[in-house]
Structure 1
């Protein structure tokens, strides 16, 4: 197949022939595997976003997302440390699942930051998403369980430039139809986190400019996460980077060298933040609770955007992405159709170890969400 018909998703393509005698759970499905470090890449080119060709396809798992979004494969694998499954899924209008931290083995995967590294996956069909998850997570088939509560953090959705009738209201109406409105709960997550995670004060001092256009406690959470990520990246790769001095693309080069220069101070505080935040979020969600979030705070950025113009967008995105990242909870990005010809999504987060519950919930909700998306799209036209 010519590259123009493959959206630049592949570096190499080949066929693995399965054993004809075995009827395994994923028999007959085509798939792709992540093999590139960054979405916009000076060495291999940028995969074309099948939903919006003039927009970026996402982060380092964007080739995997593009392959699914363009219907070249049924599912694909990616890694998600800071958001590289969730963000491409959102940008390409498909399902993307980041599992609970350590739930899927990372054996054989080059580490970036072990405290956050996960192996996730993409699909267009929630049934396929669930099947792949059960294989990777070694899960038995279990009946869906009704969620005890769906939490809508109003401050988090206020960060998004997408209208509420295309995000939260689609979810709210779907939940009301399937489970009843009594399980919906509205909160101000930033205030809750500030109260329950006192160690974040360390990252909220000094008048951080980012806090003025963000949720201060979540901006601090993002700062703690990024500091620990850089420190772990440095421990994993500093020797190779300083010895080889590889030809790195713009943007990527600056981030890698900043990581190499990361000091060791405050790392203990980062671990304290992790522990306090996981405990706080576990208490908030209780046993079968769900936290809804914008996957990203707006439209996919245009290709070759000036990084300075994306500063606020990136800061808000990292604040949202750090919630599952720091807690180690599982998160799924669900497509919500198109708004102004660009893909829209919403995320659901469940507590650590609740992957099967979350996968089943997506499968239960998906058709109703699609119906509500259709109504919202017709209403806005």
Structure 2
């Protein structure tokens, strides 16, 4: 009897434990159903549809979520901080941006998690829990608008609203693999939104569908009807792609192939954007000392990122210092240092920071004009793992902010475009258009999206010749970079790029011939002759290689051989004036 009772007790305990485990699993599932994206569920319904023949509301049938920095009447805006929520009353009005979307026919379904005080770009919020990244659950979702990106990525909302100061829309879009649009600064009302850094803050939005992204833009930007314009100038920011760990054939090359297919190769250009900024923004040079010519490319982007962070910190303190001083809130230690320690700047330094913003906007508008796009990576590295030390590393922080600072400091509009996965992490590129070019940018994304996706899928697809194709493609990109450097009279840099192309594809006559041209400019005649000979071995009809070898041999004193090269070039191209003049000149001096 005692033994049976004991047995029954263990059975009951076992069943009880099993029941507890099942319940905990159910609870865990319930908590994870919304991926931790929402702070509060609510519903704002659109007005009734107008009677025919009037057109229905433009956003009819769409649902959206709102980052918890937008005011909604009757709800406390938490700003990602518990102490903020405790010390603020429910809002007495709804942000005009939210109201415009509801009036436009969309249904608001809730408020989503933001980074603490919308200050970080990682998306980890210990107070409200970090939303789970649907595209890579072991990785950060990105911030500040982490929950808004997660809501779209998890198909919980058709689109969502967020705030972008120094990457708050672009970074989570890149981390979660969705479209993210940062409009031109000032293009969307900022009334009823808690400010972070007023001169850089923008209200942006996420979507999975480019058509939805565009429809939302038409409502918020109040864009008048205009004829669709194709881009006439697509600039690849080569130095920016050098900052990333993702292979170029998965990013820049996808864009290049898409542009070639849709608009033709002639509109493609390459730019060392760091050099361009340094030359066009004198206040950046005035505030920071140039250390050496070799550092301009990388350092100018870093200097821009540094200036961006100073302005953000300065303006955040101006907006919220009184509250921080009186409440002394509990905050993430890293954010606490940034927002509580006073930034010491002279009046001249402050003026210089804002001058950088104005000069950069003018420089970017001049570069892009009405129909230009700048193509760059959105973030430097794959999304870091949750709770990893990488987030705090200088390499990650500076690399990421270097890319984000261009739009934040210039006020230009930027869109993040997902391009699938690489090593199980989302990959993206960004397009930047001039300040005020929002409609053009939204239209271009709509026009290019299907082709970009197609080219991204081709790049991902496993093929027996994938490695060969990849190396040939990369070699051609390196050659194009060499051509750009050559045009800019950066001979040594051109040699470097052509050498990279040769390493990737050593059977291409053009690469050797082009490197020879750069060697000639540097006065390296022996190397130029050797490269031309290799080019001729691969292509017996390469006229440029004969001309360049003839020039190298003339400079080395091999006059007879030089005459032979010029004569052979004339056999291939009888009307070639350069070959004719060079051959006749040498024959007069040294005989045939």
1:66 aligned onto 2:99:
no
Cross-structure match for 2:215: 131
- The 3-state SS of whatever aligns with 1:224 is helix
Q: Is the 8 A contact 1:80 1:120 kept in 2?
A: yes
Once residues 245 and 163 of structure 1 are traced to their aligned partners in structure 2, the CA distance between those partners, rounded to angstroms, is 46
Cross-structure match for 1:21: 49
Cross-structure match for 1:177: 261
- The 3-state SS of whatever aligns with 2:194 is coil
Cross-structure match for 1:244: 327
Cross-structure match for 1:229: 312
Once residues 299 and 223 of structure 1 are traced to their aligned partners in structure 2, the CA distance between those partners, rounded to angstroms, is 22
Greater Rg over alpha carbons, structure:
2
Once residues 231 and 263 of structure 1 are traced to their aligned partners in structure 2, the CA distance between those partners, rounded to angstroms, is 9
Higher relative contact order (CA 8 A, sep 6+): 1
- The 3-state SS of whatever aligns with 2:175 is helix
1:327 aligned onto 2:415:
no
Once residues 414 and 388 of structure 2 are traced to their aligned partners in structure 1, the CA distance between those partners, rounded to angstroms, is 28
Summarize the alignment of residues 228-307 of structure 1 with structure 2, pairs less than 5 Å apart.
228-258=311-341, 260-265=342-347, 266-306=349-389
Q: Is the 8 A contact 1:98 1:332 kept in 2?
A: yes
Once residues 62 and 116 of structure 1 are traced to their aligned partners in structure 2, the CA distance between those partners, rounded to angstroms, is 19
Number of aligned residue pairs: 378
Which stretch has the larger CA shift, 249-258 or 185-194? 249-258
- The 3-state SS of whatever aligns with 2:333 is coil
Q: CA offsets, 1:61-119, max 9 Å, x none?
A: 01000000010000000000010000000000000000000000000111111110100
Tell me the CA shift for residue 213 of structure 1: 11
Cross-structure match for 2:184: 100
1:159 aligned onto 2:243:
yes
Once residues 128 and 49 of structure 2 are traced to their aligned partners in structure 1, the CA distance between those partners, rounded to angstroms, is 38
Once residues 256 and 224 of structure 1 are traced to their aligned partners in structure 2, the CA distance between those partners, rounded to angstroms, is 16
**One of 33, 40, 64 as aligned partner of 1:31:** 64
Tell me the CA shift for residue 205 of structure 1: 2.4
Q: Which runs of 5+ in 2 are unaligned?
A: 1-28, 51-55, 69-79, 81-113, 116-122, 467-592
RMSD: 1.9
Once residues 227 and 263 of structure 2 are traced to their aligned partners in structure 1, the CA distance between those partners, rounded to angstroms, is 16
Cross-structure match for 1:75: 159
Cross-structure match for 2:40: 12
Q: Is the 8 A contact 2:233 2:373 kept in 1?
A: yes
Q: Which runs of 5+ in 1 are unaligned?
A: none
Q: Is the 8 A contact 1:122 1:129 kept in 2?
A: yes
Once residues 34 and 341 of structure 1 are traced to their aligned partners in structure 2, the CA distance between those partners, rounded to angstroms, is 27
1:358 aligned onto 2:386:
no
Residues 67 and 262 from structure 1, CA distance in 2 versus in 1: closer, same or farther, beyond 3 angstroms? farther
Cross-structure match for 2:284: 200
Once residues 286 and 441 of structure 2 are traced to their aligned partners in structure 1, the CA distance between those partners, rounded to angstroms, is 33
Tell me the CA shift for residue 250 of structure 1: 3.2
Which stretch has the larger CA shift, 173-182 or 225-234? 225-234
Once residues 49 and 246 of structure 2 are traced to their aligned partners in structure 1, the CA distance between those partners, rounded to angstroms, is 49
Once residues 70 and 87 of structure 1 are traced to their aligned partners in structure 2, the CA distance between those partners, rounded to angstroms, is 17
Q: CA offsets, 1:146-175, max 9 Å, x none?
A: 111000011111001100000000000000
Higher helix share: 2
TM-score norm. by structure 1 comes to 0.95
Q: CA offsets, 1:300-319, max 9 Å, x none?
A: 01111125763111101111
Summarize the alignment of residues 139-158 of structure 1 with structure 2, pairs less than 5 Å apart.
139-158=223-242
Which ranges of 4 or more aligned residues in structure 1 deviate by more than 6 Å? Answer: 211-214
Q: Is the 8 A contact 2:272 2:297 kept in 1?
A: no
Q: Is the 8 A contact 2:290 2:296 kept in 1?
A: no
- The 3-state SS of whatever aligns with 1:152 is strand
Residues 280 and 225 from structure 1, CA distance in 2 versus in 1: closer, same or farther, beyond 3 angstroms? same
Tell me the CA shift for residue 229 of structure 1: 1.4
Tell me the CA shift for residue 286 of structure 1: 2.1
Residues 291 and 206 from structure 1, CA distance in 2 versus in 1: closer, same or farther, beyond 3 angstroms? closer
TM-score norm. by structure 2 comes to 0.62
Q: Is the 8 A contact 1:32 1:67 kept in 2?
A: yes
Once residues 59 and 436 of structure 2 are traced to their aligned partners in structure 1, the CA distance between those partners, rounded to angstroms, is 23
Once residues 250 and 230 of structure 1 are traced to their aligned partners in structure 2, the CA distance between those partners, rounded to angstroms, is 15
Which stretch has the larger CA shift, 37-46 or 118-127? 37-46
